[in-house]
Amino acid sequence: KYKDGVLPRQPIDVSEILRRKSSLQCKPFAYFLHRFRRVYVDGGVLPKEAFFLKSVEAGTCLRRQGSTFVHTGCEAATVFHLANQDRRKGKGGKCCSGIRQWNTLDCFDRLDPSGPLPYWCDVTGQNLNQQYKLDAEGFIKHGSGFCVSAGEGG
């Protein structure tokens, strides 16, 4: 453990922690992740990749600013990843039916004229407001059928 930004010179005695771990019959962390894989894997909490959302037309990236998203230079962009179980027929509840802001509990939710609003992710995929897909051409489509756009016309 670090103290004042440096490692201690003497090894730390963890024997009591190991004794307690053994007496409680604690499982390894990997067991926990596997046991709750429907949340962590199928719900997209542990993503395979993360990305920026960039408007090719405007040359700007999306950044979270308070309770909205704004366009900004890509050096200050927010990181996103795919998330939430996909409940559509044939998907079996596997990831992904939405877009989540990296390292937060927030996903794209209701689509307003100004763009998607952030709201707590529903990892079960049942919140219809959080249904967003990236299509093959790079467009973001909401479950309502509308596209998310950086343009003036929406």
Alpha-carbon span 122 to 120, nearest angstrom? 7
Percent of the chain clearing pLDDT 90 (strictly above): 65
pLDDT above 50: residue 154: no
pLDDT above 80: residue 94: yes
Residue 138: what pLDDT? 86
pLDDT above 50: residue 43: yes
Contact by Cβ (8 Å): 120, 126: no
Q: Note the pLDDT tens digit of each residue in 106-117.
A: 999 999 888 899
pLDDT above 90: residue 96: yes
Q: Half-sphere exposure (CA, 13 Å, Cβ side) for 150?
A: 16
Residue 152: what pLDDT? 58
pTM of structure: 0.79
Residue 113: what pLDDT? 86
Residue 2: what pLDDT? 59
User: Tokens in use for 56?
Assistant: 């090719």
Q: Where are the alpha helices (DSSP H) in 24-122?
A: 29-35, 37-40
Contact by Cβ (8 Å): 81, 51: yes
pLDDT above 50: residue 153: no
